[in-house]
Structure 1
Amino acid sequence: MKMKSYLFIVTFCVFLNVSNVHSLIEGLYCGVENCYDVLGVTRESSRSAIGKAYRVLAKKYHPDVQGPEVTKEEAEKNFRRIATAYEILSDNASREDYDYMVDNPEEMYMHYYRYYRRRTAPNVDIRLILAVCITIISGIQYYTAWERYDTAIKYLTTVQKYRIHALEIAKKEGLFNENTSKKVKDKSKEKEEKEQIIRKVIEEKMDIRGGYSKPDWKQILWFQLIILPYTIYQYVRWYIVWVYKFDIRKEEYGEEEKLYLIKKNLKLSQLEFDALEDHTREEYLELELWIKSNAVDWKAEKEEDLKRELSQSARHKAYRRYMKKGTSRLTFDDS
């Protein structure tokens, strides 16, 4: 009976030892060694205690202070053991992953994933990455807005009625010196100066709205994020006032409120709504499009008009005949 008890105790101890060995994986963390044992500390040791133990061992086992009885390769290998153990245990996140591996040896694939995820992940502050991304987006946003605005100005300078109007304004304001321009022999230079004056007048006098309007730095992402708390406050305040005035007290809508409802009913973006001409807004107000049923009927009527125009269009008719017959086919004569 005593012999059986002795064998059971020995077997149990061997099992515990084997389990502890298998909880440590070669190639991960400190390999088959326990990182705490390498530094001579315990799992309950604080970060400062681990740092103190590392400094003592690093000073003692540094390759430069080893005697001739220890080869350079052995000294460097031993020092790397100590440095690796300290690197793992000094970082709270990697120490937590290491403790999890020791406590859960059966989750081998998870240990590999967590180890290499942390090793390969860039050690960069996420706030810095976010700031750089926002800056790049803001720069692209501002550059694109300038490109659209420049495209609109270039187009307007080619439209005859705008060119004539710009020339009249330039002459009234004395931007053209006719006596000087007659003496200029270089016609290309004279033409270039004329185009610059026309462009300048159009930029100053033309009211370009919507997506092609002059870029405003207040519209870029950085500024919008900075004022986001204020924007949220303004919206909440506006919504409360709206509910109180029009849902509770049943007051009549003012012109500003009517225009807002028109934009909402017609499903226009702010840029699209800003691009509308003043007479178009007046027309929408006369049609009472702030009333949803009126807006729905008006949109349906516009869609019908568009279909009618397309059906009467010669180009659209030709396209429909083309689609009915099917697309033509090209073949090559190999004979």
Structure 2
Amino acid sequence: MLVSERGVPILVLVAACVAGAHGFIDGLYCGRENCYEVLGVGRDTSKAEMARAYRQLARKHHPDMHKTQEAKSRATERFTLIATAYEILKDDESRKDYDDMLDNPEAVYRHYFRYYRKRMAPRVDVRIVLAVTITVISVVQYYGAWHRYRTAIDHLVTVPKYRLKAVEIARADGFYNPSRKRDRRRKEELKDEEESLLRKIIEEQVDIRGGYSRPSLRQVLWVQLVLLPVTLGHLAWWQARWLFKFTLGGQELGPVEKEYLIRRHMGLSQGQWDALEDRERQGFLRDQLWLKDKFKVWKQRQEEEMRAKLAESARYKSYRRYMKNHGPGQISFED
């Protein structure tokens, strides 16, 4: 190995200079041979002519065309080189990189980078990656929604209000009889059956809304993407209808339009709005909160009531006294 006066290896620099002298680099493309000369074509040869030349050379140098082991070995080596040259030159991008190496042999590191970037890059269709990603997200969405829904049902089973109501319904239907004799071996089994019965009744009787509502396939990303044209069309129709009917036509707003304006003023999604109790929504309609001025007055009143509740809270009073006497906490790095 060559070493400089300071002990730094200079073999790489010598290799770069040697490569730059003739434009070919060992380990890149066709090695020390010209890929065009390997196929017997020129740089301006079309793809069709190049494919024809490749087929002729492949038949001539195919290992099966030779009898002796030595001839087969030489033919295999040549056949591999011919196939490599054709793979490089039939692809527009790799052919462009190869021509750049022939024209600029001194840019060794750039040629190394381009060659190995193309070879190491995963040959996966972007559409497949996108489809798999959307599928994974959709599956996680769906099973996550089911997990939240079951968690909500399990919680409601423990709430006395809903549990007693479910027990009454089960007794009325003749499915619940805790006073019957139980075999010790079946005690746990009967308990599980009763819990499952109560859970099923609660699922049928209780309307859970919002983020813990019963999962729907329409909420899955794949379905939303498929229905996106329909959704955009409905949105365009809604905006056009609003423009001509209410903005230009001056007609009175209906209940749906009023709820839409109230929901928009409050910054609530459709799911959050549906999760509200009916009496709350009716109260908003009675207060005419679809009108911007009345909504501002209502919001200010709500903020004042919240401040009054906080002022009466013992914990909040304690917090205010602490802040008044000690101020905000500080972080020390002396320890």
**Normalization by structure 2: what TM-score?**
0.82
Give the CA deviation at 1:70.
Answer: 5.6
Give the CA deviation at 1:296.
Answer: 2.8
SS class of match (1:183): coil
Return the letter of the residue paired with 2:97: D
**In the superposition, relative to structure 1, how do residues 274 and 99 fare at CA in structure 2: closer, same or farther (>3 Å)?**
farther
List per-residue Cα deviations over 1:70-94 (Å, max 9, x = no partner).
6877554433321211111222332
Residue 269 (1) aligns with residue 260 (2): no
- In structure 1, what is the Cα distance between the partners aligned to 2:128 and 2:144? 24
Residue matched to 2:11: none
Alignment partner of 2:181 out of 153, 174, 183? 183
Residue matched to 1:254: 254
- In structure 1, what is the Cα distance between the partners aligned to 2:143 and 2:304? 39
Give the CA deviation at 1:213.
Answer: 0.2
8 Å CA contact 1:41–1:50 kept in 2: the answer is yes
Return the letter of the residue paired with 2:43: R
More displaced stretch, 312-321 vs 59-68: 59-68
8 Å CA contact 2:54–2:86 kept in 1: the answer is yes
Residue matched to 1:29: 29
**In the superposition, relative to structure 1, how do residues 260 and 120 fare at CA in structure 2: closer, same or farther (>3 Å)?**
same
Residue 301 (1) aligns with residue 271 (2): no
Residue matched to 1:169: 169
Residue matched to 2:124: 124
- In structure 1, what is the Cα distance between the partners aligned to 2:292 and 2:300? 12
SS class of match (2:208): coil
**Normalization by structure 1: what TM-score?**
0.82
Instruction: Say how many residue pairs are matched.
Output: 310
The CA RMSD over aligned residues, in Å, is 3.0
- In structure 2, what is the Cα distance between the partners aligned to 1:294 and 1:102? 76
**In the superposition, relative to structure 1, how do residues 271 and 69 fare at CA in structure 2: closer, same or farther (>3 Å)?**
closer
Alignment map for 1:137-148 (pairs within 5 Å): 137-148=137-148
- In structure 2, what is the Cα distance between the partners aligned to 1:21 and 1:245? 79
**In the superposition, relative to structure 1, how do residues 23 and 269 fare at CA in structure 2: closer, same or farther (>3 Å)?**
farther
Mind listing any 5+ residue stretches in structure 2 that lack a counterpart? Answer: 1-17
Alignment map for 1:1-335 (pairs within 5 Å): 24-63=24-63, 65=65, 75-103=75-103, 109-176=109-176, 178=177, 182-186=180-184, 187-322=187-322, 325=326
- In structure 2, what is the Cα distance between the partners aligned to 1:246 and 1:23? 74
List per-residue Cα deviations over 1:196-232 (Å, max 9, x = no partner).
1111110011000010000001210111111111111
Return the letter of the residue paired with 2:209: R
Return the letter of the residue paired with 1:130: L
Give the CA deviation at 1:32.
Answer: 4.4
8 Å CA contact 1:181–1:190 kept in 2: the answer is no
Give the CA deviation at 1:65.
Answer: 4.8
- In structure 2, what is the Cα distance between the partners aligned to 1:214 and 1:199? 14
Q: Sequence identity, in percent?
A: 50
